[in-house]
């Protein structure tokens, strides 16, 4: 079926300190600012992608736990890369909190955790 209406994705990320988190996402993942409604929110993107990430200032952030499953899924979404090893090395050099790389046969990936405990899969 041809897609006539949809063109991208928007993801909301709860953060406790908008300035620190904005800096972290720029440094760690290369996010670029699209729009600022500081101190409440900043809208950012990764260059060349049709995905918008909105960092939203929140209080009492509680991280959701992905339900137990037999498919080894632990997070709600992944960020895709063409070179998992290079991205992994760069994030470690920048001081990011990352898990070990896991090999699932035709997919390899790791978990990246931000300043507030939000977790993202980085996969290839």
CA 10 – CA 1 distance, rounded (Å): 22
Residue 75: per-residue pLDDT? 87
Give the pair of three-digit tokens for residue 82.
């063409």
CA distances from 120 to 76, 79, 88, 107 (A): 8, 7, 13, 15
The fold adopted by the segment(s) 63-124 is 2,3-Dihydroxybiphenyl 1,2-Dioxygenase; domain 1 (3.10.180)
Residue 100: per-residue pLDDT? 97
**pLDDT, averaged in runs of 10, over the chain (124 residues):** 89 98 98 98 93 97 93 89 97 98 94 96 96
Residue 118: per-residue pLDDT? 96
Q: Do domains 1-61 and 63-124 have the same CATH topology?
A: yes
Quick one: 1-61 is in which CATH superfamily?
2,3-Dihydroxybiphenyl 1,2-Dioxygenase, domain 1 (3.10.180.10)
Q: Please report, for the chain, the start and end positions of each structural domain, with discontinuous segments joined by +.
A: 1-61, 63-124
Assess contact for 91 and 50: CB atoms under 8 A.
no
Cis omega before residue 26 (within 30°)? no
Residue 48: per-residue pLDDT? 86
């Amino acid at each position: 079926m041809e897609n006539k209406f949809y063109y991208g994705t928007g993801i909301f990320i709860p953060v406790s300190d908008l300035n620190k988190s904005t800096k972290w996402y720029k440094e760690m993942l290369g996010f670029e600012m699209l729009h600022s409604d500081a101190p409440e929110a900043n809208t950012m993107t990764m260059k060349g992608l049709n995905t918008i990430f909105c960092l939203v200032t929140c209080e009492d952030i509680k991280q959701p736990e992905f339900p137990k499953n037999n498919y080894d899924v632990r997070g709600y979404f992944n960020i895709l890369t063409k070179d998992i090893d290079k991205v992994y090395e760069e994030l470690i050099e920048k001081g990011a909190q990352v898990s070990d790389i896991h090999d699932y046969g035709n997919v390899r990936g790791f978990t990246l955790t931000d300043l507030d405990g939000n977790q993202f899969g980085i996969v290839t």
